[in-house]
Amino acid sequence: MPSPFATKLAEGFSAKVMKEMYARSVYDLITNRDYEGDVNAVGSKVNILSFSRLSEQDYTGSNLTASALQEINGQLTLSKQKSFYWRENTIDKWKSYIKEPKPVIIEQLAQERRKNIDNFILGFYPNIAAGQRTGTDYTTGTVTIDVSGNVTGSGTTFTASMVGKGFKATGHSKWYRVITFTSATAIVIQNDTYDDAAAYDGGVINAGATYTIQANTPIAITAGNIMAKIIALQVALDNAEVPEEDRFLLLHPTIAQYIPQGTNISLSVPAAFEALVQKGFLTELLGFKVIKTPRIQGDNVNGFHCIAANRNWLTFADKVLQVGMEEDLIGNFGAAFKDLYVYGAKVTDNRLKFATELFCTG
């Protein structure tokens, strides 16, 4: 069916921006796109569906008891809305040596959109299961914990930066998360969930208990220890029974520089991965696709939040919601281009364990 010429031009412009962005961005390698629902507006919600695991039963010769399938649903809200708007004045194009600016503009816009999405995705580093971080732990003093999760320290120096860190005391069977800082001797912990109602089910821990606040401060990475730290990331995912396929490790260039210097590490780019080099692919190591990106959150003073994960950790949805072209600039000569792009991401509680963090400096 024929379409207005201006519409076709605008669609072509937006499609090229997205094509260039996808070609260079790492987020398509590290995110899950398995969701149900239509992305049709800002604020749209899509469902992330999975099922709880079935347990194998002992067979005794009696009739089997059928297990019921249990859905684990999460909702992703498209919370970000971005747009580009630019124009080409006829007289400017006539004066300029650059008679066809679109290829240059498209490249720049794609890089800008890629940067914004990468920053958004990598900002989800707090959504990692408590107990699955590698850094320098804090264990000073002892604690008492009441039935509500109020922690009273003895000889402790708690800080506000501990909020969000994993916490486990002697007597706990699992990790909890620090949610409130009150003073150097008072914090509050709760179950490591985001979707469920806030609660603490660890019971009373009597006075004098030792404890760990995991990866409280960054650990310094060197050529001599980087392999051991990557092994620690691998072990954390293995212990959580995270699938070995589709694992990746994202490192800031300040940290990635130690990969080729590391003991017993050799860079290898299999032919199948050559196309990933422009995305920052360095090598494949211990089952991880190792990728360097300057978008890693943090800095070399306060620590980088490097992420190792399976791509099912985070679900991402996006859509170019609307494109258009104003063929005539009101009161002038030329054309204007614009698009509207929406996206959102979500880590459901049952997938927090699909990632681990290396909190470090170089």
| Total-model pTM | 0.77
Judge whether residue 100 has pLDDT over 80: no
Judge whether residue 8 has pLDDT over 50: no
Q: Are residues 12 and 118 in the same domain?
A: yes
Judge whether residue 106 has pLDDT over 80: no
* CATH number assigned to the domain comprising residue 308: 3.30.2320.10
Domain boundary among 192, 217, 242: 217
Domain boundary among 194, 217, 240: 217
Q: Are residues 204 and 230 in the same domain?
A: no
Within a domain: 49: yes
Q: Are residues 33 and 75 in the same domain?
A: yes
Mean pLDDT to the nearest integer, 20-26: 61
CA–CA separation, 76 and 46 (whole Å): 5
Q: In 104-210, where do the E strands start and end? A: 133-134, 136-138, 142-145, 150-154, 166-169, 176-183, 186-190, 205-209
CA–CA separation, 131 and 236 (whole Å): 9
pLDDT score recorded for residue 227? 93
- Percent of the chain whose pLDDT exceeds 90: 45
Domain boundary among 157, 191, 217: 217
Q: Are residues 251 and 355 in the same domain?
A: yes
Within a domain: 296: yes
Q: Are residues 19 and 107 in the same domain?
A: yes
Give the chain's mean pLDDT. 79
Judge whether residue 203 has pLDDT over 90: yes
Q: Are residues 236 and 342 in the same domain?
A: no
Judge whether residue 165 has pLDDT over 80: yes
* CATH number assigned to the domain comprising residue 212: 2.40.30
Q: Are residues 147 and 203 in the same domain?
A: yes
Q: Are residues 225 and 357 in the same domain?
A: yes
pLDDT bracket for residue 12 (50, 70, 90): low
pLDDT bracket for residue 212 (50, 70, 90): very high
Residue-wise pLDDT for 38-80, tens only, equals: 555 555 666 655 545 555 667 677 776 665 544 445 666 666 7
Within a domain: 62: no
Stronger pLDDT, 34 or 218, i.e. the higher one: 218
288's tokens: 């991880």
Do residues 287 and 308 touch, judged by C-beta distance below 8 A?
Answer: no
Select from 247, 248, 293 the least CA-distant residue to 25. 293
Do residues 355 and 309 touch, judged by C-beta distance below 8 A?
Answer: yes
Q: Are residues 301 and 280 in the same domain?
A: yes
Q: Are residues 184 and 249 in the same domain?
A: no
Within a domain: 118: yes
pLDDT score recorded for residue 104? 66
Q: Are residues 229 and 326 in the same domain?
A: no
Mean pLDDT to the nearest integer, 26-35: 73
Within a domain: 59: no
Judge whether residue 5 has pLDDT over 60: no
Residue-wise pLDDT for 240-274, tens only, equals: 999 998 999 999 999 999 988 876 666 665 655 55
198 is in which domain, residue-wise?
Answer: 136-217
Length of the chain: 362
Q: Are residues 200 and 154 in the same domain?
A: yes
Stronger pLDDT, 91 or 156, i.e. the higher one: 156
CA–CA separation, 327 and 118 (whole Å): 33
Residue-wise pLDDT for 338-350, tens only, equals: 777 788 888 888 8
Can you name the residues that pair with 326 across neighbouring β-strands? Answer: 336
CA–CA separation, 26 and 99 (whole Å): 32
pLDDT score recorded for residue 155? 97
Within a domain: 184: yes
Stronger pLDDT, 65 or 295, i.e. the higher one: 295
Mean pLDDT to the nearest integer, 94-116: 67
CA–CA separation, 304 and 337 (whole Å): 38
Within a domain: 63: no
CA 46 vs CA 24, 82, 164, 317: distances in Å: 26, 19, 27, 8
Kindly state the DSSP code that residue 65 receives in the 8-state scheme: P
Judge whether residue 130 has pLDDT over 80: yes
User: For the chain, what is the domain count?
Assistant: 3
Within a domain: 60: no
pLDDT score recorded for residue 327? 56
Can you name the residues that pair with 209 across neighbouring β-strands? Answer: 143
Can you name the residues that pair with 47 across neighbouring β-strands? Answer: 36, 75
